[in-house]
Amino acid sequence: MKKIIVIVFAVLMAIPAVQAQKSYDQFEVQVDGLGCPFCAYGLEKKFKEFKGIKKVKIDIETGDFSFTYPSEKALTIEAVEEQVKKAGYTPMSGRVTRADGTVEEMGGVKEAIASDAEIVTESTFVAGNCEMCQARIVKASTDVFGVSTAVWNKDTKLLEVSYDKKATTLDAVEKAVAKAGHDTKNHQAKNGTYKSLPGCCAYERVEY
């Protein structure tokens, strides 16, 4: 009987130890456009609601966003990237350090502009409000293959984009921007995407 009690006691003592050994993956994402604290804190708040998430931290000044997540859930960096975008933010880079030490980076290497590229620079209207809009618009533009630079002005609402005209068109850039939630001169964002933008990005819709 004494032996049974000792074994039961040992098992009971071991349970918390096993739980304490639960391993976590460390996620670090660089987020751009955290200009408005109300929306920036909202990102942190939304992630805190995920079951199992720990150590959620966002540095508003640097845009460094980090958290840990149970390794057993095998959360991918792509899923995190998608979630950050769904929350209305713009992930610029990121990586996950798995509990076993392996590291996975967010996104692939962007294909370089061809050496014989014919670069042209054009401007178009893109609706938006704030720094968060700016980050999203610029990222959506520069993610288009063939685009070398993109600059959006919050006051004039003009997007100036330089691109290889052999590889893409201004229309393709506008489509990509609209897909990210911003009405452009020729393309309207889907209502659902527009509505998922953070409050500060709720710009006045364009009438076509």
Partner 1 sequence: MKYIYSLLALLILISCAEKEEVAKSWQLSKTIPITGVNAIGMAITSEGIWLSDGDHNRLVLINDEGKTIKTIDSLDRPMHIDAEGEMLYVPQYGNDEVSVFVDGEKKTLVLLDSLDAPAGVSTYFKEKAIADFYNNRILYSTDGKEFISFGKEGKATGDFYYPTDVQITESHIWVADAYNNRIQVFDKKGTFLKVIGVDQKMNAATGIFVNPTEVFVTDFENDRVLIFNHEGVLQQELSKGVEKPIEVIQHQGHLFVSNYRRSELLVFDWKAIPEGENHQEDTHDHDHDH
For residues 129 and 198, what is the distance between their CA atoms, to the nearest angstrom?
Answer: 11
28, two tokens: 């670090």
Nearer to partner 1, 163 or 194 (CB): 194
Q: Which of residues 15-34 bind partner 1 (CB under 8 A)?
A: none
Q: Which of residues 109-168 bind partner 1 (CB under 8 A)?
A: 129-130, 154
Closest by Cα among 73, 55, 57, 54 to 65: 57
Task: Work out whether strand 158-164 and strand 147-152 pair parallel, antiparallel, or are unpaired.
Answer: antiparallel
Min dist. Cβ of residue 82 to partner 1 (A)? 21
User: Per this entry, what is the length of the chain?
Assistant: 208
- Binding-site member from 44, 81, 104, 164 for partner 1 (CB under 8 A): 44
Nearer to partner 1, 29 or 200 (CB): 200
For residues 115 and 118, what is the distance between their CA atoms, to the nearest angstrom?
Answer: 9
Q: For 79-101, give the secondary structure using H, E and C.
A: HHHHHHHHCCCEEEEEEEECCCC
- Binding-site member from 37, 72, 79, 156 for partner 1 (CB under 8 A): 37
Q: What backbone phi and psi angles, to 5 degrees, belong to 79? A: -65, -40
The radius of gyration of the chain from alpha carbons, rounded to an integer in Å, stands at: 22
Per-residue binder mask for partner 1 (CB under 8 A), 165-204, x = binder:
----------------------------------xx-x--
Min dist. Cβ of residue 64 to partner 1 (A)? 12
Nearer to partner 1, 161 or 197 (CB): 197
Q: Cα dihedral sign for 51, 57, 62, 64?
A: negative
Nearer to partner 1, 56 or 147 (CB): 56
- Binding-site member from 35, 66, 70, 175 for partner 1 (CB under 8 A): 35
Asked whether position 48 contacts partner 1 by CB under 8 A, the answer is yes
Interface with partner 1 (CB under 8 A): 35-38, 41-42, 44-45, 48, 59-61, 129-130, 154, 199-200, 202
